[in-house]
Chains A and B, each alone.
Chain A
């Protein structure tokens, strides 16, 4: 069930989120360090606003974040100080609950226990959670409906803002970022990359052992490739994303999976998400599915050849957002202001896109003009915002997702 654990338990990734974050963004961090002049300005502003908003005096805003340590650092070192500056007297307290769905699960358990215990006030004011937990929390009434009360609420219109793996979450969540999988390829070795799954199949036939992916046990980029394959060849792709679930559907995938087994004979099975990138780097394969944020991070670190490019093949490949949500009985007003800041085009541009190489949570078109040309071009050079909108798919709903994995084990890997 715990699908995101597979991703976050990648040893390469979780081993050093902190250092990578600092090293990678060493340059852009300088921009955040206020100069002497702005410090004075900020101090003046702070004292002035302290007079203006006495209501904020000595409050704490508790932000609980599922995910790797770099997500906690993001709130603690970047968002928190920014929010405190405009809200004097407020202290932002960031808490990490651990990577993967397990981290979201801990937040869920805490809120659930508080609700059952009849607590007057929630311990968390803002939470950052995965899709699966968001669905459950909305269903059990643990969250506050808030997105129509904040100015940025209308900026996120992608279907992930309304639907979390089949659960209706409209109004309860704001996407913090979108993470996306795509096919990375070496433009020197591949002049005309395939545009779709069927074209990819043809390409692999003609170029045996030049395409690599990590199966389903080595991390989520391979899982995403397989989920995309079943959506492309297994019949009704939209039903996998929206439901309703029908346990008999998996019988319809037999042909698609038999073809995948055939496909695998000419593909290389790599050891993990980073394993695929490693092999691309050494020129051992020319193409493979990757996480876009990892891809750009590796590019920035010089760990991939400069002529690597990305392609989002049709009908589409999965990605996932993380959500900002506000629990019931939280410090509602402050929490909403915090999320409004975090999802403002400026912060999304500077924090999410430039610092993390993630796709923005709000619609990409709102960032135009907020992001310097270089950063904009970098993120959308290979995959246009329109492509992202039409071919960036959610993962299948949980029961289909498990069926796909097990069907792969049974029919393809066996």
Chain B
């Protein structure tokens, strides 16, 4: 390995300074605030966080995990069609359609879903008008399902974009070989294609997981607040009580969730590099 040149260090210095000032310092500050009260170390804030928000913590984990699973399934399906389908118009349409949600901010998506998923909203009204649904059967999706639907709708294109790219750069010969030997397209997807792009899929899902964990607007706007996600609780702690300590404790709990995911990812990465 070549020795690091001082010029190189100089070049990365601004980036490092930014990371230190805008991420490491606030992170340290938040950790300190979460674990101290009047200068003394304490777990009081965590006791309070768990006492008041244990349900919300479970709710958050459930929403984010469930959304991640759905995102994985749907992105695999779309990317699989894009790679393996033999119907040109289907590929063209799908390729054109699937990226749109990428360009829509979370807050706009949430606002759209508010009227789309409501009991007498656009979706149910359309279904009723089409005769698919009886008006009395219509129900509101503006609860945990609304949050999951919004997250999945927003994040699927992101993961699909990465996944379809990775699939497109695979050696077509393996796919053709599988097809020639009589494997169905589904089997080719599951047994030949997916194992080769699992790394990309994992990266996409980890990034989606972290993004979803940090969104405030969607749980706030789409669903009522009982139960709700941790971001809403953090905002409430600060806005209603000026209580940064408990908000920081909730933040640390969020960090812990992302840390678990990061650990899975890193372990996978290290193993892969060891194999290579």
A356 CB to nearest chain B CB (Å): 24
Mark the stretch among B167-175, B179-187, B218-226, B247-255 that contacts chain A: B218-226
Contact, CB under 8 Å: A413 / B225: yes
Bound complex: CA A164 to CA B120 (Å): 42
Q: How far is the CA of A39 from the CA of B144 in the complex (A)?
A: 59
B101 within 8 A of A: no
Chain B residue with the shortest CB-CB distance to A8: B239
* CB-based nearest B residue for A401: B240
Distance in Å: Cβ of A142 to nearest Cβ of chain B: 21
Smallest beta-carbon distance A9→chain B, Å: 6
Report A-chain residues with C-beta under 8 Å of the C-beta of B23. Answer: none
Contacts of B55 in A (CB 8 A): 414
Q: Is the CB of B142 within 8 A of A271?
A: yes
A413, chain B: closest CB distance, angstroms: 5
Residue A262 is within 8 A (CB to CB) of chain B in the complex: no
Instruction: Contact check, B227 vs A9: say whether CB atoms are below 8 A apart.
Output: no
Q: Contacts of B228 on A, CB cut-off 8 Å?
A: 217
Q: Interface majority SS on B: helix, strand, loop or mixed?
A: helix
Total residues of chain A contacting the partner, CB 8 A: 32
Decide: A278 and B118 in contact? CB cutoff 8 A: yes
> Given that A271-B223, A413-B226 are contacting pairs, would A11 and B120 also be in contact in the complex, using a CB cutoff of 8 Å?
no
In the bound complex, CA of A9 to CA of B221 (Å): 12
Q: Is B236 an interface residue (CB 8 A)?
A: yes
**A271 adjacent to B241 (CB under 8 Å):** no
**A217 to chain B: which residues have CB within 8 Å?**
220, 225, 228, 232-233, 235-236, 240
Known contacts A1-B242, A405-B240, A409-B52; is A282 also within 8 Å of B232 by CB? no
Cβ-based interface call for B140 (8 A): yes
A119 CA to B211 CA in the complex, in Å? Answer: 49
Complex Cα distance A272/B114, Å?
11
Contact B241 A11 (CB under 8 A): no
Query: Counting CB contacts under 8 A, is A360 at the interface?
Result: no
Given A2-B240, A405-B241, A218 contacting B119 (CB threshold 8 A) = no
Inter-chain CA distance A268–B240, complex, in Å, is 22
Is A5 interfacial (CB 8 A cutoff)? yes
Q: Say yes or no for A205: interface residue by CB 8 A criterion.
A: no
Is there an interface contact between A282 and B225, defined as CB atoms closer than 8 Å?
no
- By a CB distance below 8 angstroms, the chain B residues around A2 are 238-240, 242
A contact residues vs B (CB 8 Å cutoff): 1-3, 5-6, 9, 11, 214-218, 264, 268-272, 275, 278-279, 282-284, 402, 405-406, 409-410, 412-414
A11-B107, A218-B224, A282-B119 known, 9 other contacts, Cβ within 8 Å:
A1-B242, A2-B238, A2-B240, A2-B242, A5-B239, A5-B240, A6-B239, A284-B118, A402-B241
B binding-site residues for A, Cβ under 8 Å = 51-52, 54-55, 107, 114-115, 118-121, 140, 142, 217, 220-228, 232-233, 235-236, 238-242
Q: List 27 A-B contacts (CB under 8 A).
A: A2-B238, A5-B240, A6-B240, A11-B221, A214-B225, A215-B225, A216-B236, A217-B220, A217-B225, A217-B235, A217-B240, A218-B224, A268-B224, A269-B224, A269-B226, A271-B224, A271-B225, A275-B224, A278-B118, A284-B118, A402-B240, A409-B52, A410-B51, A410-B52, A412-B226, A413-B226, A413-B227
